[in-house]
Chain A
Amino acid sequence: MRVASVELQNLTKRYGSIAVVDDVSLRIEHGLLVCLLGPSGCGKTTTLRLIAGFVEPTAGEIRVGERLVSSPSHTVPPEQRNMSMIFQSYALWPHMTVTENIVYGLKLRKVDRDTMKKKLDAILSTTRLAPLADRYPGELSGGQQQRVALARALIVEPETLLLDEPLSNLDANLREEMRFEVRRLHDTYRYTTVYVTHDQSEAMTTADVIAVMNAGKIEQAGSPEEIYNRPRSEFVARFIGSSNVVKGKNLDDSRISFAGKPLRVIGAKLSAGGETAVSIRQHDIRISTVAPPQTENVVPATVVRQVFLGGSRDYMVEVADGEQLRVVTSAEESIAQGSAVYLHLPPEHCRALSR
């Protein structure tokens, strides 16, 4: 089975004067599952369609293995890239049965009948579609349709599999199930997968590498742990996991001034005289009505709002300079609105952001 790396080099796509994909560089190693994660309109689909060859780049290159497949001067058409794609709409052909949909790619490749039959049976059992083989797509549920789309894409044994928000049309339970299905099939066949989503937990649970996109650029690419624990930019910190981001003047190489108090932080060394953004997760902040034993990183605040969420409690607090922070605590700890409280922001959770 061939697998090939996919490499994007300074990839740019402009519509008019707007760069929808802006100087993106990313190397995806053989057999990895990469998630492109980002808010709506950030250019994920466009990046995926660039890789598939439906869209020609304005600048930059795409290589698959050693082969140059996209550049502004020459684009290999999608049918010659040996990729497969699962579309947001599934794009199942309504006039063909499940079987006809699935074997379409094999027919194009002029595979002989016996091989085709073998492959079809194998994929039908892997995706548990055998009983539905003669139905039309209109007669299937959303989850079944999605598995047909998967089967159709996988049976041709692509070097690269592209998925564009494949689970967004499913209900929550099914989505979870299919998420593992995608990962399981990826592990079975070991193709290179590029997976587009705007759902953070979907990316976390399936990806080897997450590339967080914002406004056409890749903000940060790395393993899920890396992205979650060591966000490099304010955007990533806010988008991944729910972090508060506060800004303050640097006091020395590891402390900034926050609400009139010094705040010790970790991460990069701070430069003297500058200003730094610091992220701290909502559930890492301690809140109490009495002064905590620690002396460092303790800030007085007032409770502005308190919401009971069943499993937890969600506070909005305001510190001396008027800045508001969100704090998540266990459900038992109830503090009335308007109370004066102390916030403890443990230094090991206060991460200085480089951007």
Chain B
Amino acid sequence: MSALISTAVERRPAAIDISRPVLYGFAAVLIVLIVLPMSWLLVYSVTDRTGALTLDNFFRLFSESAFLDPLIATFIIATSSSFFCCAVAAPMGWLVARTDMPVGGVIRVLVTASFVTPPFLGAIAWELLAAPNSGLLNKIFRAVTGAPQEESLFNIYSLGGIIFVVSCYTFPYVFVLVANALDRTPGELEDASSILGGKRWYTARRITIPLVLPALLAGALVAFLQAMTLFGSPAILALPAGFHTMTTKIWSLFQYPPKPELAAAAALPLLLLTIFLLRAEHMILGRRGYSVVGGKYGAPRLIALGRWRWPALALCLVVLLNPVFLPYAALFNAAFAPVASHFLTFSNFTLHNIEFVLFELSATKLALRNTVILGTTTATIGTVLALVIAYVTARKAVPGYRMLGFLATAPIAIPGIVLGVGLFLSYTRPPFILYGTLWILLIAFLTISLPSAYQQLQAAFRNIHPELEDASRILGATRLQALRQITAPLLRTSVIATWCFVFVGVMRELSAAIILFTSETKVISVLIFDLNESGDLGAISVIGIAMLVITFAVVILVNRIPGFGVVGAGRLRT
């Protein structure tokens, strides 16, 4: 005690709070990341080759059938996939969340599996299954019915085929939104209707369905958006079928001779539509607050399906055949069979494909190296960036924090291919000539992964009481010291998870990389795309399976972190 009183503690010397300059620096970085490419996109779309102002690009876009047809195709694909996604995902979500259907947890896991499967990989797997001649399903069909060689049951290279494959890997978005909404809807709301005399189906119709309708609508919009901005699946399936979608058209405008001004003009509507749809989704979901008004609720009461329990499960499994079981089986078959389109048996099992990928395919090493370099740097820089911005917005640390948060989430509204075009236009000219280097891909991946990293870390910050930091500051820590000594250790697991997510996201990214790569800066996803063009499906399967294994490992790891789970997985983009 006496020691306490006799030796007065010196007040620490006044340190300059450098947090503000640091924060304004971050804002500047974000503006360069986002605003620069989008500005060039706009500039290119309204100028001609000589730099004169013109609306000619847009005029061509909406008059020439070379552009109108892809526009229409995209619209058809997006609308019908969105419809099919809702039709399949809503009942499944309800079965899993609200009924006593067996093994609902397993169904959720399987949906997550289709969620994290890169859509372009799914598309290639479906080539293996349903290409008119070599497709395994068609072979089975011919073997069973004895139909002639020219006849086939399925043709994946068709509008219908694309809609099918796109839906396979888009329906999880709707499923997750619907199932989460149902999970969050307290059972008492339904009980309240029952106690007033509402029969089971009446209650479902009047209470349950209206409560999840906003989530379903939002899901429909998100599915539309995904289908609209997807590049991989249409590039793999539509081009052989002889037509373009908007994304493949934009890509083709960069093939020789490049027409960047037209690409810019074509990218702009995609951008505007995405922004518009996301606003709409936000508005729809924003009003859902009414479902959790007041009180403390118990777990939802499950509806007994009776003798329909097992048929319901069978239905879910049949649905999941398409995005998960069949494609995975096809990839596995192709990886170990001598020829991708032959059935694997004990006698023809071979490790040739693995050997080929690892030792013979010269491109593998380079692509692998680039992917690892880009993955680690993007994940590291992106996580740090997201961490600081999430801190500032969660703690309202500086005036204008809203702006920073907005900038960090803005890239969510920029489809990968649009970003690719914007970056190409920005960095092929002085003062920053980055095209042909890994830098431009780094910028692209950083921009793409920032929103999800930011959202995850912001959620993590919300779980840390701000008073924990305040306590350290009042004892003499500057803001940065408090961040380093208190908040950082508490956030460690979330930070690791975010890092892994960004890494996996980079590994799967195709639509921006496809515009920005050069022969020296190929990444794995581009390599797969190339191998598909050259028909090396066995090699693709080997790489694809490796990719899936890494992805699953990360998702499983992340799901062990409390409060992270499916929300995080919902943010993986392609």
List residues of A whose CB falls within 8 A of some B CB: 1-2, 52, 54, 77-85, 87-89, 91-95, 104-106, 108-111, 115, 118-119, 122-123, 125-126, 152-153, 155-157, 162, 188-189
Q: Is B475 part of the binding interface, using a Cβ–Cβ cutoff of 8 Å? A: yes
Bin the interface of chain B by size. Answer: 20 to 34
Q: Are B467 and A77 in contact, with the CB atoms below 8 A?
A: no
Q: Are A108 and B476 in contact, with the CB atoms below 8 A?
A: yes
Q: Are B475 and A108 in contact, with the CB atoms below 8 A?
A: yes
Q: Is B530 part of the binding interface, using a Cβ–Cβ cutoff of 8 Å? A: no
Q: Is B490 part of the binding interface, using a Cβ–Cβ cutoff of 8 Å? A: yes
Q: Is B11 part of the binding interface, using a Cβ–Cβ cutoff of 8 Å? A: yes
Question: Which residue in A94, A104, A126 is a CB contact (below 8 Å) of B472?
Answer: A104
Q: Are A88 and B467 in contact, with the CB atoms below 8 A?
A: yes
Q: Is B470 part of the binding interface, using a Cβ–Cβ cutoff of 8 Å? A: yes
Which of the candidate stretches B1-9, B312-320, B509-517 sits at the interface with the other chain?
B1-9
Q: Are B474 and A1 in contact, with the CB atoms below 8 A?
A: no
Question: Which residue in B3, B9, B489 is a CB contact (below 8 Å) of A122?
Answer: B3
- For the A-B complex with A78-B474, A82-B11, A93-B472 known, give 16 more contacts whose Cβ atoms are closer than 8 Å: A54-B473, A77-B479, A78-B473, A79-B15, A79-B476, A84-B475, A93-B471, A95-B490, A104-B485, A105-B476, A108-B481, A111-B9, A122-B4, A156-B9, A188-B1, A189-B4
Contacts of B475 in A (CB 8 A): 79, 84, 104-105, 108, 152-153, 156
Instruction: Return B396 CB to nearest CB of chain A, in Å.
Output: 11
Q: Which residue of A lies closest to B488 (CB)?
A: A95
Contacts of B9 in A (CB 8 A): 106, 109, 111, 156-157
Instruction: Return A298 CB to nearest CB of chain B, in Å.
Output: 49
Contacts of B5 in A (CB 8 A): 1, 189
Q: Are B471 and A118 in contact, with the CB atoms below 8 A?
A: no
Contacts of A104 in B (CB 8 A): 472, 475, 485
Q: Is B143 part of the binding interface, using a Cβ–Cβ cutoff of 8 Å? A: no
Q: Are B474 and A83 in contact, with the CB atoms below 8 A?
A: yes
Question: Which residue in A91, A108, A119, A162 is a CB contact (below 8 Å) of B467?
Answer: A91
Q: Is B486 part of the binding interface, using a Cβ–Cβ cutoff of 8 Å? A: yes
Contacts of A111 in B (CB 8 A): 9
Instruction: Return B80 CB to nearest CB of chain A, in Å.
Output: 48
Q: Which 7 A-B pairs have the closest CB atoms?
A: A105-B475, A91-B467, A91-B471, A118-B3, A87-B467, A108-B476, A85-B474
Instruction: Return B462 CB to nearest CB of chain A, in Å.
Output: 14
Per the bound structure, the CA–CA distance linking A182 and B17 in Å amounts to 33
Contacts of B472 in A (CB 8 A): 93, 104
Q: Are A77 and B476 in contact, with the CB atoms below 8 A?
A: no
Contacts of A2 in B (CB 8 A): 8
Question: Which residue in B12, B15, B467, B477 is a CB contact (below 8 Å) of A89?
Answer: B467
Per the bound structure, the CA–CA distance linking A87 and B467 in Å amounts to 7
Of residues 435 to 455 in B, which have CB atoms within 8 Å of A's CB atoms? none
Which of A80, A89, A119 counts the most B-chain CB atoms under 10 A from its CB? Answer: A80
Q: Are A156 and B465 in contact, with the CB atoms below 8 A?
A: no
Contacts of A87 in B (CB 8 A): 467, 470-471
Instruction: Return B473 CB to nearest CB of chain A, in Å.
Output: 5
Per the bound structure, the CA–CA distance linking A52 and B471 in Å amounts to 11
Instruction: Return A137 CB to nearest CB of chain B, in Å.
Output: 10
Contacts of B486 in A (CB 8 A): 93
Per the bound structure, the CA–CA distance linking A125 and B2 in Å amounts to 12
Instruction: Return A15 CB to nearest CB of chain B, in Å.
Output: 12
Q: Is B150 part of the binding interface, using a Cβ–Cβ cutoff of 8 Å? A: no
Question: Which residue in B3, B10, B485 is a CB contact (below 8 Å) of A109?
Answer: B10
Contacts of B478 in A (CB 8 A): 77, 79
Q: Are A52 and B474 in contact, with the CB atoms below 8 A?
A: yes
Contacts of A1 in B (CB 8 A): 5, 8
